[in-house]
A and B are shown apart, each in its own frame.
Chain A
Amino acid sequence: MNPEIAQKIQEMFPSEFVEINEFRNELTVTVKPDRIVEIARFLRDDPSMEFDHLSDIFSVDNSVRSASDAERFEVVYLLNSIPNRHRLRLKAGLREDHCEIDSVYSVWRAAGFLEREVYDLMGIRFRNHPDLRRIFLPEDFDGHPLRKEYPTEGKGWRNTFEFLPTEEPQT
């Protein structure tokens, strides 16, 4: 689509840059998570980038599709530039024992709710987020349902219902 964007990120943040990928005309840039706010601010403010619109933030649990446990989660930022009419997918991989990343709320305020959703469903913590609470599930909910180990039927609470037979009836 526009490989100059990736080159420029690589020039500006050589130590943070991991890889660039293109699929179906979509540019994906993977970076390290440590300086994500600086990168985000650069992408928003640089006149050749001008990614002023944050479309979406979501996260992927890689534990099933990749063999290595090095970076279990990834946080994906979908950026859109209304004046320049281009899009970018920015990714940052996170380790399971340290699944924390800085919040980009100070750059795009749309991140407020989107990061809360990621925290709620995937359990990734966002540092310096003004109000990091669960957004869909109740406060006392156990676990993060979009993680791959979480069963689709739910777990725990259901089995405490008295009207569900816990054992096979004896004949």
Chain B
Amino acid sequence: MEFKTPQNPSAGLNETPLHDAEPRPITEDLPLRRSEELLLNLGPQHPATHGVLRVVLELEGEKIIKATPDLGYLHRGVEKLCEGLTYQQIIPHTDRLDYICSMTNNFAYVRAVEKLLGVSIPERGEYVRTIIAEMQRIVGHLFWLGTQSLDIGAMTIFFWTFREREVLLDLFERICGARLTLNYFRVGGVNGDLKPEVILPLRKFIKDFPSKIDEYDRLLMNNRIWISRTKNIAVISAEDAVNFGLTGPTLRGSGVYYDVRKAEPYAAYGKVEWEVPLGSNGDTYDRYWIRMQEMKQSARIITQCLDQLPEGPILTDVPQVVAPPKEKVMQDMQSLIHHFIIFTEGFRPPKGEVYCATEAPKGELGFSIVSDGGPKPYRLKIRSPSFVHLGAFDHMARGYMIADIITIFGTYDVVMGECDR
């Protein structure tokens, strides 16, 4: 066999150029563009969907023409489980609904049970509850700010907000021994009193906190990327927002004055001064601004509550509902029997139906309880803001670019634990 060596070694290379020297002329009859709808699946395993939200997107180019949320990946049947538990046994289950803001869930649930029972809470208990709920609101909003900015592309702010969140979680640990699933509220009050080792660091934190918010604002308020990715994104008009049942910062961003704490004041909210920040454009930037202002208002509420904090008991004195203190249980017979009855048989509220709404960081969190007079709820329904907000998702996502979809989930502060229940 004979090999024929080319005379010019580089001749072969020149024959096939890497790219056309002359581009092909674009002619009218050559179909370069075609239009076709693209179906894109987003989630459930996606770091920016805040859990396990799956959305099926119909796209035209980069534009969203329809977004269908597919829920249920975190459905645990909490409502069904609750029908088999006594009223106190449900409290730890509510921790697992909105696992970012467990205290607020506890609060919303025990308020509904107290309304059903018709018991009132001692004044110190109400103040402690208000302080805890506002601490939890700050934690929730800090978490939102950190993850939303991380999703959009700003990394620093995430570390900054988690630095402050950590301080509050440490305080929760001192208050009740847990950091996330807290189980602190009890029917009739709270589990433990605020001690000086909690109040002093809390005061210090609250004093410094407004300057921390200004720090975040300095990073974001005039940041070109932040503004262009949040201004005019996920806009909803006030009328539509009400019609879709939105609540919380998502509703107030559209300029609707509705806050359960003002509309039906509970706990100590009627006794302190604070304002409800309102947006005007109903876009993500306004909701961001509202959450920043709400954190400042929460700090204001906590400061006033700490100043006014009255002395007294933290648990109500209704022996049918509240177990005796542990020291007594260890010493005397009647208290031991009483303790035993409360924790084995539970208590029996009257027949009736109640709905009790509480302003959670994400919106109106309501518990409906239908009681048949037994020790377990006949039916318990959780009205979770995230679930109702996702009902408006399709309406709010249409017409935006695919890159905005992450901002649009984030704008509600959605947590799938309470959405799917």
Binding site for B on A (CB under 8 A): 23-24, 26, 28, 52-56, 58, 60-61, 64-65, 76, 78, 82, 85, 87, 89, 108-110, 112-114, 117, 121, 134-138, 145-146, 150, 152
Contacts and interface: CB of A to CB of B under 8 A. Distances in A.
Interface string B114-136: 01101000000000000000000
Main secondary structure of the interface of B (DSSP, over half): mixed
A55 B366 contact: yes
B242 interface: yes
Contacts of B388: 56, 110, 113-114
A137 B75 contact: yes
16 contacts: A26-B355, A52-B242, A53-B242, A55-B364, A56-B388, A58-B379, A60-B379, A78-B355, A82-B257, A109-B395, A110-B391, A110-B392, A135-B71, A136-B72, A136-B420, A138-B72
B354 A110 contact: no
B350 to A, nearest CB: 8
Contact of B72 (A65, A76, A85, A137): A137
Contacts of B67: none
A24 B118 contact: yes
A56 B383 contact: yes
Given A65-B378, A108-B243, 12 more contacts: A24-B118, A55-B364, A58-B368, A76-B368, A82-B242, A110-B243, A113-B387, A114-B388, A135-B72, A136-B75, A150-B80, A152-B83
B65 interface: no
A110 B352 contact: no
Contact of B245 (A76, A89, A108, A136): A108
Contacts, number: 103
Given A110-B243, A113-B391, A89 B366 contact: no
Contacts of B243: 52, 108-110
A24 B115 contact: yes
B130 to A, nearest CB: 21
Contact of A53 (B83, B245, B387): B245
Contacts of A110: 243-245, 388, 391-392
Interface residues of B, number: 43
Given A60-B370, A60-B379, A110-B245, A24 B352 contact: yes
A136 B390 CA distance: 13
Nearest to B355: A78
B77 interface: yes
B263 interface: yes
Nearest to B357: A55
B164 interface: no
Contacts of A24: 115-116, 118, 352, 354
A113 B81 CA distance: 22
A109 B352 contact: no
A153 to B, nearest CB: 10
B79 interface: yes
